[in-house]
Amino acid sequence: MISLRPLGRSGLLVAPLAFGGNVFGWTADEATSHALLDAFVDAGGNLVDTADVYSRWVPGHTGGESEAVIGRWLRKKPSNRGRIVLATKVGKEMGPEQLGLSRAYIRSAVDASLKRLQTDWIDLYQSHDDDAYTPMEESLAAFAELIDAGKVRTIGASNFSAARLDEALATSRRLGLPRYESLQPLYNLCDRAPYEAELEPLCRRESLGVINFFGLARGFLTGKYRSEADLGQSPRGAGVKGYLNERGFRILAALEAGAGETGATMAQVALAWQMARPGLTAPIASATSLKQWNELAGALRLQLPAQTVAALDLASAWH
């Protein structure tokens, strides 16, 4: 039995591993994406994270591809809507003058997302990026309207600095507006400092949920990238190059040792280390095949020995 965790003060309860929908309609075709979603909920997972912009970066794509794949899955199996916590995002550029967090754009973007997702509501609607050009009061008031209309249950932030997230929370308190209940930051064994230095203390103080992205460091923490020659193995390989250094190899060695101690895989150990961290609600991981997902799902049942956690802490230390 998987223990669900509260997502901030939102009332939403989520399993400790989330599925990243950035692959849907991109590196996982529709049939595979639907099979992955089935396997995810069957394993006890419930938080499915996507964004309106996924996968606009692919030649020939315009954005919305991932949401549309999820929407067709929900249409095929309407009962799945009640089994998932559906999270999407707004704010990144979808076209000329289609970006940011203005009231007008949020109102139009949410309707477009709801149409693609083929649902009446979004459980977690996240600001994909901070918008320095729109007053926070305007954005938060727009989100309040969506909550009042029943289109959104709760809101979250992604890619915010600690200073700006703190400002947003203060604005919500001052004006009595809904607050961001979660943060989606970059975080994994390789990328610890950006979150731990300033964001983690703020999130724990304010009881925010944390659903971090790139939990496997673009696949580096699976151990399949050991040299620059390996980078051509996947479309994400280019983003791994920065981890091929002394610290990165030290982390891989600690993961290998942890895998040997537990009988788990390196990916499972990397995710279990995150799930064990106080204040972290659920790392987001993606899979492009059922074989990959079945491996990741093993992390849900893995409890790391204290000495394994300590060894990983030491190997990945950033200060």
Q: What is the dihedral of CA 86, 92, 93, 99, to 10 degrees?
A: 90
Cα 213 vs. chain centroid, distance in angstroms?
4
What average pLDDT does the chain have? Answer: 95
Query: Could you read off the pLDDT of 56-92 as tens digits, one per residue?
Result: 999 999 999 999 999 999 999 999 999 999 999 999 9
Q: Is the pLDDT of residue 230 over 70?
A: no
Bridge partners (DSSP) listed for residue 152: 122
Active site residue 54: yes
Q: In what order do the strands lie in the sheet with 180-184?
A: 209-210, 180-184, 152-158, 122-127, 85-90, 47-49, 18-20, 284-285
Query: Could you read off the pLDDT of 4-21 as tens digits, one per residue?
Result: 999 999 999 999 999 999
Domains of the chain and CATH, by start: 11-184 (3.20.20.100)
Q: For residues 112 and 118, what is the distance between their CA atoms, to the nearest angstrom?
A: 10
Question: Residue 1's pLDDT is what?
Answer: 72
Cα angle 193, 199, 204 (rounded to 5 degrees) comes to 120
Active-site residue, from 54, 105, 195, 225:
54
Mean pLDDT of 276-295: 96
Query: Could you read off the pLDDT of 189-220 as tens digits, one per residue?
Result: 999 999 999 999 999 999 999 999 999 999 99
Question: Residue 235's pLDDT is what?
Answer: 63
Query: Could you read off the pLDDT of 90-129 as tens digits, one per residue?
Result: 999 999 989 999 999 999 999 999 999 999 999 999 999 9
Cα 186 vs. chain centroid, distance in angstroms?
9
> What is the separation, in whole angstroms, between the first and last Cα of the chain?
37
Q: For residues 154 and 136, what is the distance between their CA atoms, to the nearest angstrom?
A: 16
Tokens 């997230």 map to which residue? Answer: 165
pTM given for the model: 0.96
